[in-house]
A and B are shown apart, each in its own frame.
Chain A
Amino acid sequence: QVQLQESGPGLVKPSETLSLSCSVSGGSIGTYYWNWIRQSAGKELEVIGRIHTTGNTIYNPSLKSRVTMSVDTFKNQFSLRLRSVTAADSAIYYCAREFTYVDAYDVWGQGTMVTVSS
């Protein structure tokens, strides 16, 4: 079955850029929407945005000015860049598949903790 795996630095300095990748295995990255979702300590899950293999993106308006997502269909992976990070961006970052038939996230990566600190 399809599996997702996040990768990237666990520590980012304030004002710098957070960069994460999500590798898709066990299936093709095509025909689905791929999302980044984060969870700060004690808070609800927050959708950062999604990308399709066509490159079409939808970002959360609250983060839109700082977010860029990209997809590499040859590598079967997609990526997140979040600029100008602050301590408020410290969270567990998940990649997830959006299954449009059910309008829900049916496959998730295990998550990766990112701490913003100098």
Chain B
Amino acid sequence: DIQMTQSPTSLSASVGDRVTITCRASQSIATYLSWYQQKPGKAPKLLMYAASTLQNGVPSRFSASGSGTDFTLTISSLQPDDFATYSCQQSYSRPWTFGRGTRVEIK
């Protein structure tokens, strides 16, 4: 299985901060990479797919990039609604696998 490693595991930030989360695949996955946001007690919500495409309805302060093994998710100006856990997921080969998540907390 392809292993997805995220960093950092958690981070503290303030409203208005620029936040960047990294995801690394154990082998090249081209751009078969999605990002999800998950709040406590809720299901994951798809934010981005194909490494850099914004899902419908997701605010434009979210952006993502990368290809091969290294990917990033950026929140340009953190909003109160953005405090959550963010996970990456590869769809290059089955079984599709997720990273352990990065928890974004309020500083």
Contacts and interface: CB of A to CB of B under 8 A. Distances in A.
B107 interface: no
B95 interface: yes
Contacts of A110: 42-43
Interface stretch (B14-22, B47-55, B72-80): B47-55
B46 interface: yes
A44 B94 contact: no
For the side of the interface on B, what is the size category? 20 to 34
B95 A47 contact: yes
A61 B93 CA distance: 13
Main SS of the interface on chain B? loop
For the side of the interface on A, what is the size category? 20 to 34
B14 to A, nearest CB: 26
A58 B46 contact: no
Interface in B32-82: 32, 34, 36, 42-46, 49-50, 53, 55
Interface of A: 43-47, 58, 60-62, 94, 96, 102-106, 108-111
Kindly list the 3 A-B residue pairs having the minimum CB-CB distance in the complex, ordered from nearest: A108-B43, A103-B91, A104-B34
